Structure 1
Amino acid sequence: MTATGKPAPRRKRAAQPVENAKFDAFVRRILRAYGRRVAAGDIEALASLARLSSEVDATTRLAVASLKNGPYKYSWQEIADRLGTSRQAAQMRYGDKPATGATLDRRLVEAGMGVTVATLVEVFADHHPGVPAASVCPGCGFRYTDKQTACPSYATVRPLLYRRRHEDQKAVNQLTTDQTDDLHGRSTTRKRAAARQATRPTSPPPRAIPTSLFDAHNPEVTS
């Protein structure tokens, strides 16, 4: 009670910092629970569950970028020691120049884990392959192959933007219809295939093979 007879205001408890080990355990529990829910018959969620692996890889790449830059400036050897791999392997997988030889968009490298949804949208749009897809990425010049149809920047930014798309709907709304379809994994792949098929030259109709002596002298059959 205060001197005026009013109850004393409650003191707010200081926020208790959550250790990363607790975060790790929590994420693992959620992931296992998610897997059980999908296994219980939700086949439509299977693709979303599989995409989590690419999101973890992309998030790790941004976390490494933050550790390399900013006030920390950890070396590749220090990062590799924590990952249990060699310096060269860590740099090839999480560096700004992946094993493919292409360079990650500087906006991702410089922002690291502090990247905004608006920046993700810009990078996603700049590196979008298009419909039909060009032979090289319009944003970085990465040459597509039969097995790799997305540049490293696009492959990194897509899962992150998909998960965070609701944080800045105004920025996401700037994407085109084809870009939005690609973000959600819709039928854009079939659109590209149909577009490529339409540009291919059509073959002339096969000539009929005569089945009798009479057909061989019939101009309608042999012409």
Structure 2
Amino acid sequence: MTANRKPAKRAKREVENSQFDAFVRRILRAYARRVAAGDVESLTSLASLSAEVDTTIRLAVAGLRRAPYSYSWSEIADRLGVSKQAAQQRFGDSTTPNALDRRLREAGLSVTVATLVQVFAEHHPGDPAASTCPGCGYRYRQGEFDCPTNATVRPILRRRRRETPEAVTRLSPVQLADLIGTTNPRTRQTVRQSAFPTSGPFRSAPTLFDPYGRDHTS
């Protein structure tokens, strides 16, 4: 009688980043087709993916900047097809006034929910909203609701908040309502606009589609 043998483990298959890239693009196109087929309620979720991608780019750059890789801003800018100054201004480091919180730069894509909660709370503008971020001193532009740090944290924490519910309970009721979108953004905007002139050009907030906040008014 032969002894029972454990099945041999399959060799781990390495997946190239190019394959991940192709897979994500297929998924996005399929998602868009499903929404286009009459699912108007899902349009909001589809549009929010731009902020999610923008956030993951920030964290990926933070990881590339960290040891042991320590890529320079010139190397990163070259891959993004922008100038060194534009890349540094967009993604920031410890030498720029709009830098991401140090805890995000150090953790990168491995950031925990507990850290996200702590950072979000410390950089939350409050209610009524202040004209500058209490966590980093960033001065909000007209129509902005977050400093660069919380613009990065918000979509990740909103998506991952159920992974560690006990960590999310540390947010105040105002912060939690703001995170999940049950507050009235117009109220917050009205409070903040009092700190800005009512006319004149301003730079819009960076987005995935216009990541450097170019002024479209000219």
Per the TM superposition, whether the score is higher than 0.5 is yes
Q: 74-83 vs 34-43, which deviates more? A: 34-43
Equivalent pair of 2:92/2:98 in contact (CA under 8 Å)? no
Q: CA deviation at 1:103?
A: 2.6
Equivalent pair of 1:66/1:112 in contact (CA under 8 Å)? yes
Q: 4+ runs of 1 displaced by more than 4 Å?
A: none
The 2-side partners of 1:71 and 1:85 are apart by 24
The 2-side partners of 1:9 and 1:77 are apart by 51
Q: CA deviation at 1:7?
A: 3.9
Structure 1 counterpart SS, 2:56: helix
Q: What residue in structure 2 maps to residue 219 of structure 1?
A: none
Which residue, out of 42, 46, 49, partners 2:46?
49
Q: What residue in structure 2 maps to residue 114 of structure 1?
A: 110
Does the alignment pair 1:154 with 2:153? no
Does the alignment pair 1:131 with 2:120? no
The 2-side partners of 1:145 and 1:88 are apart by 21
Q: What residue in structure 1 maps to residue 168 of structure 2?
A: 172
Residue correspondences, number: 191
Q: What residue in structure 2 maps to residue 215 of structure 1?
A: none
Q: What residue in structure 1 maps to residue 79 of structure 2?
A: 82
Unpaired runs of at least 5, structure 2: 192-218
Alpha-carbon RMSD across the aligned residues, in angstroms, is 2.2
The 2-side partners of 1:168 and 1:189 are apart by 26
Q: What residue in structure 1 maps to residue 2 of structure 2?
A: 5
Does the alignment pair 1:14 with 2:14? no
Structure 2 counterpart SS, 1:131: coil
Equivalent pair of 1:128/1:138 in contact (CA under 8 Å)? yes
The 1-side partners of 2:168 and 2:48 are apart by 19
Q: Show CA shifts across 1:74-131 (max 9, x none).
A: 11111122222222222121223698x4232111111112211111111111111222
Q: CA deviation at 1:11?
A: 0.6
Counterparts of 1:28-39 in structure 2 under 5 Å?
28-39=25-36
Cα 1:150/1:43, change in 2 over 3 Å: same
The 1-side partners of 2:116 and 2:123 are apart by 11
Letter in 2 for 1:80: A
Identity %: 61
Q: What residue in structure 2 maps to residue 204 of structure 1?
A: none
The 1-side partners of 2:78 and 2:120 are apart by 32
Does the alignment pair 1:142 with 2:113? no
The 2-side partners of 1:98 and 1:55 are apart by 25
The 1-side partners of 2:91 and 2:145 are apart by 20
Letter in 2 for 1:138: P
Between structure 1 and structure 2, the one with the greater Rg is 1
* Higher RCO (CA 8 Å, separation ≥ 6 residues): 2
Q: CA deviation at 1:143?
A: 1.9
Q: What residue in structure 2 maps to residue 201 of structure 1?
A: none
Q: Show CA shifts across 1:14-43 (max 9, x none).
A: 221211111111111111122222223332
Q: 33-42 vs 48-57, which deviates more? A: 33-42
Q: TM-score, normalised by structure 1?
A: 0.77
Q: CA deviation at 1:191?
A: 5.1
Q: CA deviation at 1:190?
A: 4.7
Q: CA deviation at 1:193?
A: 6.5
Counterparts of 1:62-101 in structure 2 under 5 Å?
62-96=59-93, 101=97
